[in-house]
Amino acid sequence: MRLGIFRGLGLLAAVAILAGCDSQPATVKLTDTKVDAAAKLAASKAAKAKAAAAVKANELGQIPVLMFHRIIDKPGTTDDRTPQQFRADLERLAREGYVPISAAEMVTGKIDIPAGKHPVVLTFDDSSPSQLTLNEVGVPAPNTAVSILKDVAAKHPGFPAKATFYVTRDMFGKSIREEQAQVLGWLRDNGFDIGNHTRDHVNLRGRSHKEVEEQIGSIAKEIFALSSVRPVSIALPYGNQPSKKEWALHGKLYNHKGAFLAGYTPAPAPFSKAFDPLGIPRIKVMEKKGDCKQFCSEAWLDWLKSNPDMRYTSDGDASTVAYPKFKTPYLRKAFVKWSLPY
């Protein structure tokens, strides 16, 4: 009986086709393709989730944003690192599975690193010559931050020389315009990120809106005139926010996606609800001693190492935000489309 009904339907369909209803087979075909595509998508998503689980991906985890200043032989303050210390800082990061990304990539959520790896953001404040000095043919001088970073990167495939330089009018010690254009152009051409650190390195706390705009806008304009780069983020001098925090992000001459502070914890992932673009914490680079017993880089890297579930771990796919299902309440709404809970 059943068979008979189906035969009957088949006959009807055949009649419809013969009757010249040529939209019918087309619709059937389209639906098949859609079902097929949906099934394929579901299968691929399931495979991606499985792969994410295998590397314990956690793209809602925390990211260390390290704050460097000068790299010099005889440190004047605890903000400075010697070339040997800086090299050891980078070697540790490479050894522990960190991959440098820029501040611009972090604040825009473009974190494209291999599965199982952890992002780290290397930031350099104050645009000092110890960070970048070029010789006559445009090669970084030995023992500058850039030179050491490139050296460590060459020894560790998978650890790219990537960093963000927060520039003031000091411009790496260059006062001649052509030389300023050379250093900024060199950073741009070598894949480094250029950020804003205000023109005169002023404390923005308590300043008028006009002063804040002037301090941030004038250096933004200068950076653009010299290199055609528009900074994507700012590092606030002394970590101090202006009276209205938004002033640091948006002005007539600038439009930042993130403002970085000067302390004291790892930063939330940009996909997490805890992420606040108006105040992104950074970590001072220093051993576990004195004021740095708990809240500087050695202490935090130790903590992230012993609390791997708190740390950002990539699933290797920049188009998804993968995390254990349990963490779902922490996902920022804007990223629901990319979410890959497992």
70 to 99, contacts with Zn ion by CB under 5 A?
Answer: none
Give which of 128, 129, 72, 66 is closest to 100, Cα–Cα: 66
Nearest approach, Cβ of 235 to Zn ion (angstroms)?
A: 7
- Least separation, in Å, of the C-beta of 125 and Zn ion? 4
Q: Does 126 bind Zn ion (CB under 5 A)?
A: yes
Residues numbered 150 to 169 that lie near Zn ion (CB under 5 A) are none
143 or 198, CB closer to Zn ion?
A: 198
Question: Contacting Zn ion (CB under 5 A), which of 80, 89, 105, 125?
Answer: 125
- What's at 238, amino acid-wise? Y
Q: What residues numbered 211-250 form the site for Zn ion, per CB under 5 A?
A: 237
Whichever of 237 and 270 has its CB closer to Zn ion, that residue is 237
Burial bucket for residue 5 (CB in 10 Å: 0-12, 13-18, 19+): exposed
- Residue 339: HSE in the Cβ half-sphere, 13 Å Cα cutoff: 20
Q: How far apart are CA 105 and CA 76, in angstroms?
A: 32
Counting Cβ atoms within 10 Å, is residue 262 exposed (0-12), middle (13-18) or buried (19+)?
A: middle
Size of the site for Zn ion (CB under 5 A): 3
Least distance in Å: CB of 256 to Zn ion? 16
CB of 197 to Zn ion, least distance (A): 6
Nearer to Zn ion, 151 or 170 (CB): 170
Stretch near Zn ion under the rule CB under 5 A, chosen from 125-133, 184-192, 306-314, 325-333: 125-133
The amino acid that residue 250 corresponds to is: H
Closer Cβ to Zn ion, 126 or 193, answer by number = 126
Q: Please state the closest distance from residue 187 (CB atom) to Zn ion, in A.
A: 17
- Residue 337: burial class (beta carbons within 10 Å; 0-12, 13-18, 19+): exposed
The total of other beta-carbon atoms located within 10 Å of residue 74's CB is 6
Residues that bind Zn ion (CB under 5 A): 125-126, 237
